[in-house]
């Protein structure tokens, strides 16, 4: 999926290579920016800010983990920071209460040990996702890819929040079992 | 602590603070691997979609070597000195015109104006050039 990162060229900010990377992976950045940017211009700003951060600090990607997963984390953390600032500003101005947003943005995803998010593992998980029961895959997609809250996902899927949680847990358990080559643990 | 159940790891990954679990994660390879799986989920679950050209172009324009790229401005020593001198003269002139030095005379004038000149000289080097030209 997408251009493979050539670490030497990436670190050297090779223009042609950066262009390939940006074109191939922009869908990830745009998705995150859309989730956090309420208005079109805000989304555009976030999209640009993420890429500028990546371009200016290429060595922050050490090449151990999957580039897509790394990029998603960079985008999410930057957009969360921006959103938190915006929410704080809006609350200061006493416009509208944004409790839901504040709660959603309370966590800042830490970067994991890159060895547990390797390209190979990423490819395996992507493939395994295709084999999940449709509802489990949909629940995981809404929570993890679309970054919806359980409440939002439940509403979109027309089911209870608890059911979404259960579907997500079952799906992840299934992925974990497949990866470990175990019998399906999902009951 | 014992290794937590999957729900607790999911909650942490989705942003629920859990300092105890975070401490546990530092030393538990098995839980780190489970968390790794969660980290991979977003992009493994997502499907590529079309990105408007104008957005991609706005970033490409910011790449070194692009027409729209604005490199950080290089400020020469002469420019810094000139900026500092202008700052010094402006401050000194303002103080003289308002009569602020009073009985302190030229010494006080220097004491008050030199820091302004130095500040102005340094300010000339603070532009970071991060503006993206041809924005979206």
Query: Does residue B84 or residue B52 have the better pLDDT?
Result: B52
Count of beta carbons in the 10 Å neighbourhood of residue A152 = 17
Instruction: Flag if A116 and B39 touch (Cβ within 8 Å).
Output: yes
Per DSSP, the residues of B55-97 read: HHHHHHTTSTTSTT--PPPPPPHHHHHHHHHHHHHHHHHHHHH
Q: How confident is the model over A85-104, as a mean pLDDT?
A: 51
Q: Residue A58 contacts by C-beta under 8 Å, 6 or more apart in sequence?
A: A10, A11, A13
ipTM of the complex: 0.71
**Per residue in A47-90, pLDDT tens?**
999 999 999 888 888 887 889 888 988 898 888 888 777 766 66
Residue of chain B nearest A177, judged by CA positions? B34
Q: Is A18 helix (H, G, I), strand (E, B) or coil?
A: helix
Of A95-99, A106-110, A118-122, B41-45, the poorest mean pLDDT is in A95-99
The reply to whether A30 touches chain B by the CB within 8 Å rule is yes
Buried b or exposed e, range A47-77, using 16+ CB within 10 angstroms: bbbbbbebbeebeebeeebbbbbbbbbbbbb
CA distance B69 to chain A (A): 12
CA nearest neighbour of A143 among A116, A117, A176, A165: A165
- Evaluate the CA torsion angle A112, A116, A120, A126 in order and state its sign: negative
pTM: 0.62
Of A16-25, A64-73, A102-111, B83-92, the poorest mean pLDDT is in A102-111
Which pLDDT band, with edges at 50, 70 and 90, does A37 fall under?
Answer: confident
The reply to whether A22 touches chain B by the CB within 8 Å rule is yes
Q: How confident is the model over B42-71, as a mean pLDDT?
A: 78
The reply to whether A84 touches chain B by the CB within 8 Å rule is no
């Amino acid at each position: 999926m997408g251009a493979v990162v050539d670490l030497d060229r990436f670190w050297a900010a090779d223009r042609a290579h950066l262009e390939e990377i940006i074109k191939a992976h922009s869908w990830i950045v745009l998705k995150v920016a859309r989730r956090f940017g309420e208005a079109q211009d805000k989304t555009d700003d976030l999209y640009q800010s993420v890429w500028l951060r990546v371009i200016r600090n290429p060595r922050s990607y050490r090449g151990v983990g999957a580039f897509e997963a790394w990029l998603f984390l960079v985008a999410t953390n930057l957009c969360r920071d921006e959103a938190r600032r915006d929410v704080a500003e809006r609350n200061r101005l006493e416009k509208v209460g944004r409790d839901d947003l504040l709660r959603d943005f309370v966590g800042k995803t830490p970067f994991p040990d890159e060895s547990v998010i390797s390209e190979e593992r990423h490819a395996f998980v992507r493939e395994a996702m295709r084999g999940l029961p449709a509802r489990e895959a949909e629940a995981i997609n809404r929570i993890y890819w679309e970054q919806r809250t359980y409440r939002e996902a439940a509403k979109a899927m027309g089911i209870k929040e608890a059911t979404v949680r259960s579907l997500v847990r079952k799906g992840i358990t299934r992925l974990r079992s497949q990866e470990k080559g175990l019998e399906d643990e999902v009951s | 602590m014992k290794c937590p159940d999957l729900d607790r790891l999911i909650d942490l990954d989705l942003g629920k603070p859990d300092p105890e679990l975070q401490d546990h994660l530092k030393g538990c390879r098995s839980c780190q691997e489970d968390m790794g799986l969660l980290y991979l989920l977003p992009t493994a679950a997502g499907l590529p979609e079309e990105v408007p050209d104008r957005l991609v172009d706005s970033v490409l324009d910011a790449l070194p070597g692009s027409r729209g790229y604005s490199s950080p401005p290089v400020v020469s020593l002469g420019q810094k000195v000139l900026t500092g001198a202008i700052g010094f003269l402006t401050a000194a002139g303002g103080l003289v015109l308002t009569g602020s030095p009073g009985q302190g005379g030229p010494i006080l004038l220097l004491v008050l104006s030199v820091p302004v000149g130095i500040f102005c000289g340094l300010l000339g080097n603070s532009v970071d050039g991060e503006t993206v030209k041809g924005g979206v």
